[in-house]
Chains A and B, each alone.
Chain A
Amino acid sequence: MATYEPVIGLEVHAELLTESKMFCPCAVVDATSAAPNQHICPVCTAQPGALPVINRQAVEYAMMVGLALNCQINRFNQFSRKSYFYPDLPKGYQITQYEHPIASNGWLDIEVAGSDGQVISKRIGIRRAHMEEDTGKSTHVGDASLVDLNRAGVPLLEIVSEPDFRSVEEIEAYARKLRSILQYLGVNHGDMSKGVLRFEANVSVREAGSNVLNTRTEIKNLNSIRSMVRASRFEIARQTEVYENGGEVKQQTLGFNEVTGETRSQRSKETASDYRYFPEPDLPPLMIDPAWVDELRAKLPELPDAKRGRFVTAFGLSEDDAAVLVSDKAIADYYETGLKAKGDPQKLANWITIELFRYLNEANLEITDLKVGPAQLVALINMVEDGQINNNTAKDVLAIMLEDGREAAPIVEEKGWGLISDTSELEAIIDNLIEGNPDPVHSYLGGKEGLLGWFIGQVMKETKGQADAALVRDLFAKKFDTLREQS
């Protein structure tokens, strides 16, 4: 039987977190928490006679994304009206870029596992990115519907990929990387629970190795990367089954049911809306000065790939460690702040990717939620380096720090967890051991030097692990030297 491969293209709608909305001075706020209809004005509520004015910051943000995605920034920009009726679309049309988007013809390299398990890089084409305005939010309560226009007019950038994806792993890698780039650029915080990133997947399947593009379906309103992956996986399986049974896939728009994990038809092509696009007469064409583009290009922050490369070459991190650290800007920021506090690059990386990540996973938190800042973590790591505590103690100290946010040193002191580096105290223990264990002492002096480990272990046992192991080793060495001379 033939095997099938998916062909997927993605549309990502990213809210641009500008100070004000796309076409009016209203503040852009968290639509999931702000009191409804507080951030509205004549323009975004479509009062008769009100007119849109383009937000310069939104255009800049859009260009920054375009540049980060290796797009050409188009000089001639035009907005159009996309007409349809819905209560959360106040004007009865959405202002969007249709024929003349701000950015086009770009690409993004993603990393995915190859067939042999090796990480390989794959280039995904970016067809275009265009600016538009968000709609309001409808809430259905019983037989009534409530409309909140806080979100109406918030700038959106729609980023449209080429149908270059051949697996759900690829779309996931792409979405995560794109999200991370938007965070690095500071144009979107990437918190999908706030609805600032939304996805649409165009999915078709075909016999593996074929070049045909089969009929695709469009899965709309996917509110997280996880939903997008689940919905696409379901849809690939559904279409594959249709073909395996000799059927035909119907072109249609699908919704995704989070509960059942299934896609379902919203409307078929036959009843597709005619949006009646035409150029927005209230906004003259926007001409982008190439000097403006150059200025932004020069100001672009370091992006994840560049940062990863730098972490590898400058700090000797492994590709894997570097990739994990740069995947989320907040984590990379945490790491780099820690470095500034004189943290050792490798040890800091280890503590973040092992200890902190474990805690974040268990507590279901983001790194920005931590009570322990990077400088505090570095101070803890340095206590281990300086021999004030050992590694295991440090983990216990960190657990307390994560709970109450205190510094490491007072915790160590309070708990009395500092290493015993008092020579006389340790000498007394060592003398006792030597006196009480004549046989092993004899064996050691007779040449069984491997027994040193046993002696050190006994001291550790006696001190509940708080002895400074290096110091104990030195003290034993001296003691045995003296005994040798005496005998």
Chain B
Amino acid sequence: MTDLTSLTIMQAGQKLAAAEMTSVELTRAYLDRIEAVEPQVQAFITITAEQALEQAQQADERRKKGEKGPLLGIPLAYKDVVTTLGVETTCGSRILEGYKPPYTATAVRFLEEAGAVMLGKLNMDEFAMGSSTENSGYKITRNPWDLERVPGGSSGGSAAAVAARMAAGTLGSDTGGSIRQPASLSGVVGLKPAYGRVSRYGLVAYSSSLDQIGPFAHTVEDVALLLEVIAGHDPRDSTSMQTADTGFASSLKQDLKGLRVGVPREFFIEGIEKDVESAVRRAIEKLAELGAAIIEISLPHTQYALPTYYLTATAECSANLARFDGIRYGPREQAGNVLETYRKTRGEMFGAEVKRRIMLGTYALSAGYYDAYYLKAQKIRTLIKRDFDEAFRQVDVIAAPASPTTAFKIGEKVDDPLQMYLNDIFTLSTNLAGICGLSVPCGFDQAGLPIGMQLLGPGFSADRPNAGEALILRAGHAYQHATDWREKTPAL
């Protein structure tokens, strides 16, 4: 019998539909796999085995009653930044240790309604701040391809769990690359939808104007299936878009003839690893072979993305994280008065990177500095958005590396925040512009570490009939279909 955990979501769904296996069997297979490799990978903060089996049983019963659906009975796991009713949600932070939310995030609720099974909650950089998952308050997740290396971050647990076949698919969140960069470093597919595509209700906010939930899986096709379910307007999130866009999965059937692919010269710069650059360039050639027209483009404000991002995100996080005060939930370090209680609780429970960003953001918003920092960043953000608007008048999708490097060693960059920040240099501008991005495996470096190609598509626009996600999923799927990178799997 083949290992059920090697099935894609699409394949598993077909087997379930054909009654060749049950969701309980599939879920057991994943729980066994977790038991076997989780001690090495450390992707989970919470494993909900019992609940998963119950949900699997319910899914099987629903199917017996005639219900269908590609996610019915499929075992998934979620980054610990989305709320799950009654199941501990920590955001990778000690300040939320033991916190059991009174409600479930909309994206998770949609998946539950579709019959998905939750295996557990995944490790992450504390409050999604980081690029390696080393900033977790709980554990360091390891890259399944090389346990000495990081899986990327901040959704490192979500990427590693898929790479290590501990879940058929996962949810992550992407504020400046936190889905695409770990997908690239862990050799899986990861999608950041356009801002407003997926409800943020229940996504614990890092930077509200940049955060977006998105899926990880082995194939573009699977990612499309997951997007199909989690996308859609939510009256509880005023920034989620009213849109009728669906059919992400069905858009994959189209070939690439006539698709215009832009290659931004600003994304192939000094500092990018040779193997990464050549793999991505070969992947772009492959797109051309498949019928796409390759067009060189320019995104002139790319160099300002990093400072713009770090002013915007930190400013927003300084307010977003103010609610973690030890008063209503989470552990409290009681002191003599309320101010001291705040200081002690926040001082002891937040990690160094979180405190660094809160301080940066507080500073950027302070009287006398607001105009020079926060306001200027918003103006540049507009220019970056215009770069993409301009580009998407010439091309349908943009192809670029997802990360300038492959997975780096654990501990290699922890003492140098700026080096760490630079690892997101190719992903930050996507969030600033509100557009969508996909990372698809496109090869390996000489050390055998995975490389990802990033495909960027437009965001919401009244005059654009097709969703950007449909374009990048179509390109990614065609590429994945024409290549065999997926056949190589990490040896665990």
Contacts and interface: CB of A to CB of B under 8 A. Distances in A.
- Do these two chains interact? yes
B323 A53 contact: no
Contacts of B268: none
B97 to A, nearest CB: 13
Contact of B89 (A48, A85, A276, A278): A48
Nearest to B127: A48
B238 A48 contact: no
A103 to B, nearest CB: 22
A282 interface: yes
Interface in B227-242: 235-239
Interface string B408-446: 000000000000000000000000000000000000000
A276 B318 contact: yes
Contacts of A283: 238-239
Interface string A261-292: 00000000000001011100111100000000
B201 A51 contact: yes
B370 interface: yes
A282 B210 CA distance: 10
A46 B319 CA distance: 12
Nearest to B83: A49
B282 to A, nearest CB: 39
A48 B327 contact: no
B472 to A, nearest CB: 25
Contacts, number: 104
Interface residues of A, number: 30
B101 to A, nearest CB: 6
A48 B319 contact: no
A93 interface: yes
B342 interface: yes
Contacts of B322: 83, 85, 91-93
A47 B238 contact: no
Contacts of B125: none
Interface string B74-94: 000000001100000101000
B365 A48 contact: no
Given A51-B201, A53-B235, A282-B239, A93 B319 contact: yes
B103 A42 contact: yes
Contacts of A440: none
Nearest to B235: A53
Contacts of A52: 238
Given A53-B235, A281-B316, A45 B103 contact: no
A274 B365 CA distance: 9
A147 B338 CA distance: 13
Nearest to B321: A92
A278 B319 contact: yes
A81 B329 contact: no
Contacts of A54: 238
A83 B319 contact: yes
Interface string A67-97: 0000000000000010101110011110000
Given A49-B83, A49-B105, A278 B374 contact: yes
Nearest to A85: B342
Residue among A46, A50, A87 with the highest chain B CB neighbour number at 10 A: A50
Given A42-B102, A48-B101, A53 B238 contact: yes
B238 A90 contact: no
Q: B-side binding surface: helix, strand, loop or mixed? A: loop
A437 interface: no
B209 interface: yes
A91 B102 CA distance: 16
Contact of A45 (B91, B328, B366): B328
Interface in A106-123: none
A486 interface: no
B485 interface: no
Given A47-B103, A49-B203, A92-B325, A278 B365 contact: yes
Contacts of A90: 323, 327-328
A230 B329 CA distance: 42
A42 B102 CA distance: 7
Given A52-B238, A83-B319, A276-B366, A47 B101 contact: yes
Contacts of B57: none
Contact of A281 (B101, B208, B323, B370): B208
A49 B204 contact: yes
14 contacts: A47-B101, A48-B99, A48-B204, A49-B101, A51-B238, A53-B235, A81-B319, A83-B318, A87-B327, A91-B323, A92-B323, A145-B338, A276-B365, A282-B208
Instruction: Give me the 8 closest cross-chain CB pairs, A-B, nearest first.
Output: A92-B322, A281-B208, A281-B209, A276-B365, A48-B204, A49-B202, A46-B323, A49-B204
Given A276-B319, A281-B208, 6 more contacts: A42-B102, A47-B329, A48-B323, A49-B101, A91-B323, A147-B327
Interface of B: 82-83, 89, 91, 96, 99, 101-103, 105, 200-205, 207-209, 235-239, 315-316, 318-319, 321-325, 327-329, 338-339, 342, 362, 365-367, 370, 374
